[in-house]
Amino acid sequence: MPDQDVKVDVFQRDVFELTRAIPSGRVTSYGAIAKSIGSAGASRRVGWVLNTSFSAIPPVPAHRVVNRKGMLTGRMHFPEEHAMETQLKAEGIEVKNDMVVNFEAVFWDPQVEWLD
């Protein structure tokens, strides 16, 4: 099989695995994920992969992934309109006006805390 397909598969697998490793009550960013799996700059692909994560087994907590500013940019893509915010709040993360409150405090850096 073509190398490209393999790369995509690995990329997707890594994104899923890393995202599942995000502790409850914490969030991370697309760029941080991309960087820690060796694809720095490919943050847009992370979004695409997460979009396919809704049907993934086991489920991927895509609601814990936001952009660099702590903004819930992907909430409109969730199955239900307020799913992302609701789930975050259920985990103890405060969300106001589509923004994670105290973002720096709840930010989870995969490169530091996700050790193989």
Partner DNA sequence: CATCTGACCTAGT
Partner DNA sequence: AACTAGGCCAGAT
Query: What is the smallest separation between the CB atom of 82 and DNA, expressed in angstroms?
Result: 13
Task: Count the neighbouring beta carbons within 10 Å of the beta carbon of residue 36.
Answer: 18
Interface with DNA by CB under 7 A: which range of 2-10, 85-93, 96-104, 105-113? 2-10
Contact between 99 and 90 under an 8 Å Cβ cutoff? The reply is no
Burial classification of residue 26, based on how many CB atoms lie within 10 Å of its CB (0-12 exposed, 13-18 middle, 19 or more buried): middle
Contact between 87 and 96 under an 8 Å Cβ cutoff? The reply is no
Structure tokens at 57: 């087994």
As a whole number of angstroms, the distance between CA 79 and CA 13 comes to: 22
Query: What is the smallest separation between the CB atom of 58 and DNA, expressed in angstroms?
Result: 15
Q: Based on CB atoms, which residue is closest to DNA, 25 or 59?
A: 59
62 contributes a contact to DNA by CB under 7 A: yes
Which of 13, 23, 54, 101 binds DNA (CB under 7 A)? It is: 54
Q: Using CB under 7 A as the criterion, which residues of the chain lie in contact with DNA when the complex forms?
A: 4, 7-8, 29-32, 34, 39, 41-45, 47-48, 50-51, 53-54, 62-63, 65, 67-69, 73-78, 84
